[in-house]
Amino acid sequence: MKALDELTFDNRFARLGDAFSTHVLPEPLDEPRLVVASKAAMALLDLDPAVAETPVFAELFGGHKLWAEAEPRAMVYSGHQFGGYTPQLGDGRGLLLGEVYNEAGEHWDLHLKGAGMTPYSRMGDGRAVLRSSIREFLASEALHALGIPTSRALCVIGSSTPVWREKQERGAMVLRLAHSHIRFGHFEYFYYTKKPEQQAELAEHVLNLHYPECREQPEPYLAMFREIVERNAEMIAKWQAYGFCHGVMNTDNMSILGITFDFGPFAFLDDFDAHFICNHSDHEGRYSFSNQVPIGQWNLSALAQALTPFISIDALKEALGLYLPLYQAHYLDLMRRRLGLTTAEEDDQTLVEGLLKLMQSSGVDYTLFLRRLGDESAALAVARLRDDFVDMAGFDAWAERYKARVARDGDDTQEQRRARMHAVNPLYILRNYLAQNAIAAAESGDYSEVRRLHEVLTKPFEEQAGMEQYAQRPPDWGKHLEISCSS
Ligand code: AMP
Ligand code: MG
């Protein structure tokens, strides 16, 4: 266990120099205070959880203090936003404080979001509000607990600093952890500004640090791109299987590591809805729930375009062709497991699709349905769940198919079935209304609800005594919350 002053830094990205990032100091928040910290994320840095409660913790992550070895940098990148190319973006309000090594030899970027203005702030104020900081913190840690690759969050620091959005709010900072903060948009920036040498330097950096095994391949850059395609296919399969809607899948928000990154107005589905749009400024539904799958491929194509100086177009096309079949395979594998199946049959795809259609037309809660399906034998569970469906005859037909499929899958005891299904079907997810309750309390100075919700979401598959209220469908007020896109 380490104290805060015992972190070891090795700032490899900073050493790439001024063409890649700019030195900027954090702008401190007034009266910084701990809102919530993740013990699990602290463990990634070998930090003693007790240090979260010390004043110096809030000072460090509220921008007042810095380690001597930290080298805060704002990174430059660009990206395609809602399909159109924006030539220059960059860290407009976040700073890479440095890279820290833990005792296991893993390195973690420490990125402070909401740290003030940078050369890339454009019209923004460099700040993040408490509301969006809490949402990013909770989502990062909840996705991780579900087994979905994601950046992590160490803490949220609140403050009395006024920040203007639709109304006056308070500034906050999130300390984000990831093995890298390099985005698709980094490669696009150097490609479209025609800086081939720097682009090659960036590619070498990513290859050496994050895809060293690709060095062994005859075409290392191609192997790396293929790996990025594979990781994205798997990550998006998990989003779809767990009902996660990212909301702003611009290429500047896509990590080169294939992890969920840069949370905006994201949502987990309550009722299953393939057409759900969580970002209310997304008028065309470009990033609707079901569009996430083709958009994943679109984003990879944008990255492929930026890699054309290194890889032949034919090879890039072939690698892109891996995306959909891999996505399908991962998705189907997860959905089979969510349905309690241990074997694969040709028709499983239509079994899954048939269920989702029924859920869609009846507005059935996606998470709770699948959880309850594992509570009892297939026959008892479907008999109980049919009341949730408007089209009961349709559901009965599906249920007959499902029962027959379960029977062919092999016989295990009800205990085995329940344990197997509950291990992949969460009882608790980060529903928008739960986040909203926690935010409202935090905005009035009470952080207990954020902390409790975070605790519950760290064990989403385990039924927790006294936490029944976190496993409910949303109340009427919480069903169609319009989450502000400002952050
Ligand atoms: P986002 O949509 O949050 O991923 O941000 C897109 C771009 O806008 C990035 O370059 C951000 O750094 C920048 N940005 C977002 N909010 C702010 C802000 N309040 N101040 C400065 N830059 C911002
Ligand atoms: Mg972003």
User: Which ligand sits nearest to residue 169's alpha carbon?
Assistant: 1
Whose alpha carbon is nearest atom 17 of ligand 1? 124
Whose alpha carbon is nearest atom 13 of ligand 1? 92
Residues 261 and 378 in one domain: no
Q: Which comes out higher in pLDDT, residue 486 or 63?
A: 63
Which of 302, 333, 364 is the endpoint of a domain? 333
User: Which ligand sits nearest to residue 128's alpha carbon?
Assistant: 1
- Domain hosting residue 396, numbered range: 342-422
| 469 lies in some domain | yes
User: Which ligand sits nearest to residue 86's alpha carbon?
Assistant: 1
Name the residue among 171, 155, 142, 139 with its Cα closest to residue 52. 155
Q: List the catalytic residue out of 46, 48, 109, 252.
A: 252
Longest Cα–Cα distance of the chain, Å, equals 68
**What is d(CA 365, CA 401) in angstroms, rounded to the nearest whole number?**
21
Confidence of residue 479 (pLDDT cuts 50, 70, 90): confident
| Binding-site entries | 90, 92-93, 113, 125-126, 176, 183, 253, 262
What is the per-residue pLDDT for 165? 96
Confidence of residue 139 (pLDDT cuts 50, 70, 90): very high
Atom number, ligand 1, closest to the C-alpha of residue 94: 12
Question: Is 252 labeled as catalytic in the residue annotation?
Answer: yes
| 194 lies in some domain | no
Question: CA 186 → CA 78, 254, 296, 303, distances in Å?
Answer: 6, 10, 17, 9
Residues 149 and 278 in one domain: no
pTM tops 0.75: yes
**What is d(CA 285, CA 203) in angstroms, rounded to the nearest whole number?**
33
pLDDT in tens, 392-428: 999 999 999 999 999 999 878 999 999 999 999 999 9
Residues 91 and 230 in one domain: no
Report which DSSP code applies to 29.
P
- Contact call for residues 206 and 182 (beta carbons, < 8 A): yes
Whose alpha carbon is nearest atom 3 of ligand 1? 264
Residues 24 and 154 in one domain: yes
Residues 303 and 231 in one domain: yes
Q: Which residues line ligand 1 (CB under 6 A)?
A: 89-93, 120-121, 124-127, 248, 253, 262, 264, 487
Ligand 1 midpoint to CA 124 (Å):
7
3-state SS assignment for residue 282: coil
Residues 268 and 306 in one domain: yes
Residue 166, Cβ neighbours under 10 Å: how many? 8
Atom number, ligand 1, closest to the C-alpha of residue 127: 19
CA 364, 333, 463, 379: dihedral to nearest 10 degrees?
60
Give the CA angle between residues 421, 426, 428 to the nearest 5°.
155
pLDDT in tens, 25-66: 999 999 999 999 999 999 999 999 999 999 999 999 999 999
| 186 lies in some domain | no
Confidence of residue 483 (pLDDT cuts 50, 70, 90): confident
pLDDT in tens, 120-133: 999 999 999 999 99
Residues 48 and 99 in one domain: yes
| 268 lies in some domain | yes
The tokens for 242 are: 């767990």
Residues 167 and 230 in one domain: no
| Binding-site entries for Mg(2+) | 253, 262
Percentage of residues in the chain having pLDDT higher than 70: 100
Residue 444, Cβ neighbours under 10 Å: how many? 7
Atom number, ligand 1, closest to the C-alpha of residue 264: 3
Residues 156 and 29 in one domain: yes
pLDDT(289) > 90: yes
As for how many domains the chain has, the answer is: 4
pLDDT(352) > 90: yes
- Contact call for residues 323 and 232 (beta carbons, < 8 A): yes
Give kind and range of the element (H or E) at residue 238.
Answer: helix 220-242
Whose alpha carbon is nearest atom 12 of ligand 1? 92
Atom number, ligand 1, closest to the C-alpha of residue 125: 20
